[in-house]
């Protein structure tokens, strides 16, 4: 049986991975937003 402390430590260990995924996703969606914005302004 896994103790609560072990579960807590595992969760803490996963936080950097989750943050990395989130920041990568945010930068990708931000990039897509910039590209879309520039395409729209060129089309006008």
In angstroms, the CA 22 to CA 40 distance is: 27
Residue % of the chain over a pLDDT of 70: 100
Of 13 and 1, the one with more pLDDT: 13
pTM summary value? 0.52
Please, what is the average pLDDT of the chain? 90
pLDDT interval class at 2 (50, 70, 90)? confident
- Please name the residue ranges forming H helices in 1-44: 4-43
- Average pLDDT rounded to a whole number, residues 15-41: 91
pLDDT interval class at 13 (50, 70, 90)? very high
Say yes or no to pLDDT of 17 above 90: yes
């Amino acid at each position: 049986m896994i103790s609560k402390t072990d579960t807590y430590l595992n969760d803490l260990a996963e936080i950097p991975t989750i943050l990395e995924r989130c920041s990568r996703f945010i930068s990708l969606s931000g990039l897509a937003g910039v590209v879309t914005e520039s395409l729209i302004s060129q089309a006008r």
